[in-house]
Amino acid sequence: MADDIRFDGQVAIVTGAGGGLGRQHALELARRGAKVVVNDLGGSVDGSGGSSDAAKAVVAEIEAFGGQAIAHGASVTDDAGVADLVKTTIDTWGRIDILVANAGILRDKTLSKMELADFEAVMQVHVFGTFKPIKAVWDIMKAQNYGRIVVTTSSSGMYGNFGQSNYGAAKMAVLGLMNTLKLEGAKNNVKINAISPVAATRMTEGLMPPEILAKLNPEYVTPGVVYLVSEDAPTGAILTAGAGVFALARIFETEGVYLGEGGLSAEEVRDSWEKITAEPGQQAYFNGGEQGQKFFRKLAGG
């Protein structure tokens, strides 16, 4: 078909692509013609240990169907490793069109039991491990007036999940990063979106019953990622994907109420709660300034 999504001539980096979702993303991008850098530290689910075997195995799979790929074992949290990941990509193929920031770990504990180290490790991999590769490819993408980036968020961040305060905080942080970068990249055709997956991987294997996991093949998430890194991608979208279902997540703000300037009180806020939270007229904003315009419209009686 003439309008198949293809990536011939394009170069993609997929972090954490030695297994799970990242492996599927890497395989599918390569099937569609991209040259793929398969990055994976090869550690355990809590981030300990490491070996580049996982990434190499995925490269072998890609080469087996005639695709092009190289493995890179850098940790996404390591400055020198990320710099080398990007340098190796440029030295090998001369450009970087796509970055899928997918690497992740879990250190689930309720807050009472959580050590600072558990919070920091998860923030490091998901937040800094998303920021650092993006920062390293950003000016390359801007200079070539083309770039597609996907960050990986989670319902645990957007909506909450018991025992995941570290992970939830980190997964919302990547959305904050995306919300600003969609604005900063627009002029140079650098688009950035988020995927919020649900899939049966080693990360979720103990968390859901087998009959549910059986419906959650990670392959069912990948078409969403492939679209989000394609030429026609939107920007600033949060695509939720799992079990073959795709939906858009958005933050809505209610129209709210103007309570005046003089003599404002907590009691007035309490007594206006129904109006403050009323859903008719609620909106999702594309940037913070749009919210500010609403405040001044209401102040002016609009």
Name the site residues for ligand NAI (rule: CB under 6 A).
15-16, 18-22, 39-43, 45, 47, 54, 75-77, 102-105, 125, 129, 152, 154, 197-199, 201-204
Q: What is the 3-state secondary structure (H, E, C) of the chain?
A: CCCCCCCCCCEEEECCCCCHHHHHHHHHHHHCCCEEEEECCCCCCCCCCCCCHHHHHHHHHHHHCCCEEEEECCCCCCHHHHHHHHHHHHHHHCCCCEEEECCCCCCCECHHHCCHHHHHHHHHHHHHHHHHHHHHHHHHHHHCCCEEEEEECCHHHHCCCCCEHHHHHHHHHHHHHHHHHHHHHHHHCEEEEEEEECCCCCCCCCCCCHHHHCCCCHHHCHHHHHHHCCCCCCCCCEEEEECCEEEEECCCECCCCCCCCCCCCHHHHHHCHHHHHCCCCCECCCCHHHHHHHHHHHHCCC
**Is the Cβ of residue 76 or residue 178 nearer to ligand NAI in the bound state?**
76
Residue 167 designated active-site: yes
**Is the Cβ of residue 20 or residue 146 nearer to ligand NAI in the bound state?**
20
CB of 188 to ligand NAI, least distance (A): 26
**Is the Cβ of residue 48 or residue 265 nearer to ligand NAI in the bound state?**
48
**Is the Cβ of residue 85 or residue 146 nearer to ligand NAI in the bound state?**
85
CB of 102 to ligand NAI, least distance (A): 5
C-beta nearest to ligand NAI: residue: 20
Q: From CA 131, how far away is CA 137, in angstroms rounded?
A: 10
CB of 198 to ligand NAI, least distance (A): 4
**Is the Cβ of residue 104 or residue 185 nearer to ligand NAI in the bound state?**
104
CB of 2 to ligand NAI, least distance (A): 33
CB of 75 to ligand NAI, least distance (A): 4
Look at the block and give the residue holding tokens 């170069």: 11
**Is the Cβ of residue 24 or residue 179 nearer to ligand NAI in the bound state?**
24
CB of 84 to ligand NAI, least distance (A): 13
Catalytic residue among 146, 159, 167, 227: 167
What's the half-sphere exposure (Cβ side, CA atoms, 13 Å) at 29? Answer: 35
Name the residues annotated as catalytic.
Answer: 167
